Amino acid sequence: MIRIIAGNRKNRRVLSLPMSHHVKPISVRMRKSLFDILRPYITGSIFLDLYAGIGLVGLEALSRGSSKVVFVDNDKQCLDTIKKNLKNLELEESGVVVKGNILENLNWLSYYSQDGYDIVYMGPPYRDKDNNPLSYSLKTIQSVLKANLLSEYGIIISQHHIKEKFETPEELVKFRTEKYGDTLIDFFKPKKNV
């Protein structure tokens, strides 16, 4: 059973999908660590949850004080589950659930936050249905930058498999990396804010 870890919805249950659906929610350990790091950034933030899955990261952000989360995924079952979770947690007013192909142009996401997003989190799938490795992180980061989705002091967080290597785009600085088994979480901010 999956639950919210902290905040005003602490210990409330989150609906998941069957194991056959190939959506692997972020572990409790990683989620706790991630939000310990994000503590100074969360309150009042506009949060973008890309490859949202069941919405666990965005729901945790809302519980901990984000003012709005935009959840994006391309899978109807995931989107339906996020909507149910928002309803069950009484967070419908603060969550926007959108179907979209994250690997294409992301300009349309500025519609949901004209001043940009304070936190952009991406947890793309590591493997396809045939177990072939995927490498979506760099392409997604570049799309976020191209669409100018970051707010003035916004940050980007990329969760990816340890074997997925990529160079930090020149507009960004990687200011932290955390390792959890075969997963890395990288934290980036624009060079102009260093």
Confirm if 157 and 187 have CB atoms less than 8 A apart. yes
Q: Which domain holds residue 152?
A: 2-193
Q: What is the pLDDT of residue 166?
A: 92
* pLDDT, tens digit (0-9, with 9 covering 90-100), for 39-55: 999 999 999 999 999 99
Task: Please give the share of the chain, as a percent, with pLDDT higher than 70.
Answer: 98
Q: How far apart are CA 49 and CA 132, in angstroms?
A: 24
Above 90 in pLDDT, residue 133?
no
DSSP 74: S
Please state the rounded mean pLDDT for residues 107-125. 95
Above 90 in pLDDT, residue 119?
yes
Q: How far apart are CA 134 and CA 160, in angstroms?
A: 10
Q: What is the pTM (predicted TM-score) of this model?
A: 0.95
Which CATH number do you get for residue 87? 3.40.50.150
- The DSSP element (H or E) to which 66 belongs, if any, is none
Please count the structural domains in the chain. 1
Residue 20 pLDDT level (bands cut at 50, 70, 90)? low
